[in-house]
Structure formats: structure tokens, C-alpha cells
Structure 1
């Protein structure tokens, strides 16, 4: 009788691990979602915890089951192997994870970083500090990210400053993400902002701009404005952040940027992020253009501003691909087209109310800022945008999202 029962338990444990893999991938995908809210992520966290608790019922079996999976080349797989081991709160299991961290690279390293950032750090903090001090650059910055999640990272550490100038653009971008999470708001450690923002790598530029926003750099709005107006197609990160941060006095500049053909479907998104009622009629007009992707983006931006879903019944295949590429044509994205008539009816009903404010998001008036209750009800993309604005204004609302 014992052998069949052991096999049954093993299969159940594997199911828990597979669900952890799936749920962690979902969580990572939702952290910057324009649809999901913080409550949705909290529900995912509860489901993740339920599967971890299921695994912890078989404590003695976990090292043998999970240790071979620690270097799996998928981020969510490595996380699902490491996190339950760390939750055992046993030195030997923690040592298995930190030993794998010292060998890992790529997606496996990211998954182990996630686990180390999420699980209790008391048994791993020494190993993480050792990797930060003397590990390879990718492992050092992954260790820094895990330490930052536990508020155990010194923002003035010389190694962090060195990683901001690393030869690997991926390392530099991650280092800026750590800066966003450790530098005190309003204070200005000597960071190489200019070289990052003048550099050729868009990932590094985006991460440096994010860091500047979260740390409340007073020069950020003017830098975003200058970069956006000089080269909107090449500076999409600055264009978007300019729309997020700019006030009503920048309306004409935002409208000018959104009309740039080079921005394509990013143009309506820019207007949605700006949130001024003056953009609504432009969005309604864009809902009926021949380009399906542009029309769908206009509908999404209208919803972001008003909070009203205007998706219609029709779907269309996007046409922004090489017309001679049969493969691309067959597998082109499909989008749901907005219902322009419904959008016009909503605008006719709500125009007077919306014109009473200068920034709207999901139907909430954010003209004077965002309170905690409203912040909780926003989609996550809009939540982080509101938090960046507040940080730059010197009134931080919440910390940045997890890496």
C-alpha cells in the first residue's frame, strides 16, 4: 500500500509546483497591466501561497523534488523551485538556493532573484551580500535587487555605482531599477544620469528615466520635454513619461507629439496617459481610422481616461506588416475595434463633468493628485503613473512595483 500512496503524493506535489510556475508568470505579467488592479495581484498572491502551503506539508520531500529544478531556464520555473525551499526556513535548503544563484544566468537567475526577493532573507542575506560584492556583474545586480526588496541595500555602495557604468546594457538597466528602489526621494546621490539619458540603449534610458521619477528628481519634467520634442520616435520612453508628468499648460505640446505619424498606435496611448478632457474628441475621431491597431489604441485610451469600456463587437486583423509577407499576414494580431457611437454617447453625457478637471484616469478626477482609496482602484499601469507624478511632486504615495 505504501508505494502507490507515495506516488500519489509525488504527483500532487508536482501539480503544486506547476501551478506555482503558472501563477508566478501571471503575476509578473500583471504587475504593469493596464487592465488588472492591485486586488487582482493580491488574489494571485493568495493562490500562490495556497500552493506553497500544499508543498510545505511534505517538507522532507522538497529538497529532493525541487533542488534539480533550480537552474531551469525559465524564470517562473526557477522561482517555483526556489521559493518553497526558502520557505522551509532551513539553512541547508537556503544554501541549495544560494549555491544555485552563484551559478545561474539568464532567466534562471531572474527567477532565483525573484524568490530571494520574496522569501524571508535572514538565511540568505550573507550570501546575497557576498554575491553583490564579488559576483559577476549579472549576479551582483540580481543580488542587489533582492537586497533592495528587503530594504537591506546601501544606496551608497560603490559596487552599485560601478554597475551603473557596466559594459553590459542589461546590467546597467537593472542597476537603474535598483536605484529607483533604494535612493532616498528628493536626495541626489552622484548618479550618472547624463550618460544614461544620452546613451544609445533604449532599455537603459527607460530605466534611468524611471529611476529619476521614483526618486523625485526635480529636473525630470524638463528633460522629458526636451527629449520628447527633439526626437519623439527615438525617445518613446521620454514621450510617455512627459505625458504622465506634464500639467495642463503642456496641452499643445502633448497634442503635437500624439499627432506624429512615427508614433503610430503609441499616439492615442500618449493622450490617455495625459488624461486631459481636450483629448477626448481626438480619441473618438481616431476610433474610426482604417488602421485597426490605431483605432483599438484610441478606444483603450478613451477607457483609460473615462473608465467606460467602449469595445465593440467587431474584430479586425492588424495590417501593419509587410504586405508581401504571407506568414506575417496569416499570423497578424487581431484587435477588438471600439464602438465609436457608444464613445460619442458617453462623451455627450459626461463632457460637462470631465471639462471640470484637467487630468482624468478611469473616471477619477486626479487634477489635484490621487488619494490612497483612488490609487487602490486604478489599474496597475495607471497606479504606477500616479505614483511617479506624486514622487516628482515631492509627495510619494507608494514604492515602485517589484522588479
Structure 2
């Protein structure tokens, strides 16, 4: 009976963590909503921790399995206990687990408070690996306690995962500008994207210029680079996003980017693709995100899928292209073309300087990214993927 209850706690923890990962960039959830989700997650972890002695064997087995969310749940439960042996088991599993489980364990070590013994063990692990342990880099930089100088070898000499972790660490901890510049030229797309994000977070003067060059290069542009351009850009970047919206593999990111950038010229670009069956829903969402206006929808529509096979996005209403364009022609004069808009209101990035907890999770992340490019020393310990309580503590 007890093991059945613990298994239910484990499954609920998996579900909640997966949901949290998805909603971290949600336009429909704010910090208060995220805190409520995290409270439910913590309650299940406490339940698991209370029964950790009885379920220790199954929890440790999950650490070496092939399921990321289950590995997170097991690792977080073991870290919640006061047993140093349980924490040691998590650290040992980190070194031998398969990549999916290693990701879950790493996420747990980032999400949970970092105990002194775990921090010391990770520092030793990093030293023994000559600075080339990606999990240790990830966890220590996430908690803002990566020792100085530990990226010197990881940047030029690490494998792909190590270079990705190093790029994220540069964004969190700062570092030499030439490290970020080196990684921007990496042969791995994810490393390049992360290095550009790090350069922006550090306020490096060449970051926006380099990003524009990347987004204008048909071979190097990626969805992530377009999203970053939308966070940092100005009206002169609308044309780049407009062009990329017509490329199949970039369309969704470019359309979402137009919604992020938020100028009236972005809405004009959206009107070009609102009649495209593949992009219509995304264009409708971006239109509403900028203007606050609900796009008229097609009265009768079919997704072409059985209900049980359809995703949430498949079931969204499809905008009526002609009626949406007519609505925009009617209302366009009420929007100043020189400022950015969000939900029909002027968007002022400076508000987040005074109140970094404002807004939905997506807008908050985007505007803080823009703000950090201008003032990189602002909120140096703020980690947007950290638990809400930790975020509030460093911005109080």
C-alpha cells in the first residue's frame, strides 16, 4: 500500500515537472501561477522524501533509466531528504547515467537548494575532469558558484555538451568576451545560439550586430537566433523577420518573433501570412499579442484530425484572413508606429528594471533579455529558470 502511494507521488512529480518545463515560456502564466505549480511539486516531493527509505531502491533505479522526468523526480526526492548518503547516490548516478537520466538529475540539482557537500563534490569533479564536466558546469553556474577560470578549457577543448554548458555559464557568470566570440563561430548550431544569448546577457557591444548577420545568413539562421533577434531588435529588424516567415523551417519562429518585437510594422508583416494555412494560427496569436484585438475567425473549420489525435494548437480557431486584415486597416491609426505594443498597450522595457516580477512568463523573459543587453549588471544572480522563491529573493 505504501509503495503504491509513493508511486503515485512519483508519477505526479513527473507530470508536474514536465508541465513546468513547458510553461516556463508561457504567455498565459505569471510568477504567481508558476509558484502555485511549484507548491504542488514540492508537496509531492515531500511525500516522496518521507517514504524514501522504503522506496530507495526504486528511486535509485530511476536515476540510471532512460526517462528524464522520472530521473528528475527520483533525484529531487532523494535531495529533499536529510540523508547525506542519498545525496551522494544522486551525485554518483550523475557520472554513470544515460543522457536522458543525466539531464533529469542535472535539472534536479539545479532546481533544489545546493547543499555544501554537493557543491564541494561537484567542484572536485570539475577539477578532476580538467574543467570538462558539462553537468558540473551547468549546476554550479546555475547556482552562481562556478569557480573562476573553470571555462578556460571548456570553451576551446570540450565536447559538444561541454561547450553548450560553457556557453550557458558565460551568460550566467560573465567571462572573457573572446570566449563568447569563439563559441559564436562553433560548428554546432545549439552552441552558436547559446553563445549569442550569452553575449546579449553580458551586454557585449557586438552582440546585436553579430546576431543580425547570423539571422541574415541563410545557412546559419535558426529559430532560436530569430527569437533572440526579436527580443533585442528594433524596427529595422522587421524585414529580416518578414523574410524568414516565408521559409518553411523558420516560419513559426519568425511569426512569433514579430509578435515579440511588437511594432505596427510587425502587424503589417503578419497580415501577409495570416492567410497561409500553416501559419494562420500563429499569425493570429501574434496579432492579438501586439494589438490586444481578437482576430475574427472562420465560422466553420476542421483540423482534418480526429479529436483524440489533435493537439491544443490544432484545435485553436483559424483567423479569417480577410476580416482580420480589414480589422487592422480600421484600427491601425490608433497605434503609434514608433513604439512597441503588447496587448494593445505601449510596451516599456524599463518597467522590468523597477519590477522584475511583472507580466506573463514569456514577456517577462523577453523584456529582461532586452534590458540585460542594455544593463548587464542588473540582477546578476537572477536565474529565470530557478524556482520562484529563489528568483524573488535575489530581486527583493
- Shorter-chain TM range is 0.7 to 0.9
Partner of 2:198: 211
1:20 shift after superposition? 0.6
Contact 1:292–1:317 (Cα < 8 Å) also in 2:
no
The runs of 5 or more residues in structure 2 that have no matched partner are 387-396
Report the CA distance shift for 1:370/1:166 in structure 2 as closer, same or farther (over 3 A): farther
Partner of 2:189: 202
Match runs of 1:328-367 below 5 Å: 334=314, 336=316, 337-340=318-321, 343=324, 347=328, 351-355=332-336, 358-367=339-348
1:80 shift after superposition? 0.8
Alignment of 1:177 with 2:168, yes or no, is: yes
Report the CA distance shift for 1:30/1:368 in structure 2 as closer, same or farther (over 3 A): closer
Partner of 2:70: 77
Partner of 2:176: 189
Partner of 1:23: 16
Contact 2:352–2:367 (Cα < 8 Å) also in 1:
no
Distance, in Å, in 1 between the alignment partners of 2:183 and 2:91 is 31
Distance, in Å, in 1 between the alignment partners of 2:337 and 2:323 is 22
Distance, in Å, in 2 between the alignment partners of 1:317 and 1:144 is 45
Distance, in Å, in 1 between the alignment partners of 2:190 and 2:102 is 19
Contact 1:163–1:175 (Cα < 8 Å) also in 2:
yes
Report the CA distance shift for 1:175/1:18 in structure 2 as closer, same or farther (over 3 A): same
3-state SS of the aligned residue for 2:156? coil
Contact 1:305–1:361 (Cα < 8 Å) also in 2:
yes
The runs of 5 or more residues in structure 1 that have no matched partner are 1-7, 319-329
Report the CA distance shift for 1:294/1:132 in structure 2 as closer, same or farther (over 3 A): same
1:211 shift after superposition? 0.8
State which drifts further: 39-48 or 201-210.
39-48
Contact 1:362–1:378 (Cα < 8 Å) also in 2:
no
Partner of 2:390: none
Distance, in Å, in 2 between the alignment partners of 1:386 and 1:232 is 28
Alignment of 1:149 with 2:133, yes or no, is: no
Alignment of 1:105 with 2:98, yes or no, is: yes
The C-alpha deviation readout for 1:358-389, integer Å capped at 9, x for no partner, is 11233442245333687645333322211111
Report the CA distance shift for 1:172/1:301 in structure 2 as closer, same or farther (over 3 A): same
Partner of 2:392: none
What's the TM-score, normalizing by structure 2? Answer: 0.82
Partner of 2:79: 86
3-state SS of the aligned residue for 1:56? helix
Partner of 1:381: 362
Contact 2:291–2:344 (Cα < 8 Å) also in 1:
yes
Alignment of 1:292 with 2:292, yes or no, is: no
The C-alpha deviation readout for 1:288-340, integer Å capped at 9, x for no partner, is x2x3222122112112213445373655559xxxxxxxxxxx99984631244
Distance, in Å, in 1 between the alignment partners of 2:57 and 2:296 is 50
Alignment of 1:401 with 2:384, yes or no, is: yes
Partner of 1:310: 295
RMSD: 3.2
Contact 1:255–1:271 (Cα < 8 Å) also in 2:
no
Partner of 1:327: none
Partner of 1:3: none
1:49 shift after superposition? 0.8
Alignment of 1:129 with 2:129, yes or no, is: no
Partner of 2:46: 53
3-state SS of the aligned residue for 1:96? helix
Contact 2:137–2:165 (Cα < 8 Å) also in 1:
no
Contact 2:200–2:369 (Cα < 8 Å) also in 1:
yes
Distance, in Å, in 2 between the alignment partners of 1:60 and 1:66 is 10
Distance, in Å, in 1 between the alignment partners of 2:91 and 2:357 is 35
3-state SS of the aligned residue for 2:144? coil
Contact 2:226–2:254 (Cα < 8 Å) also in 1:
no
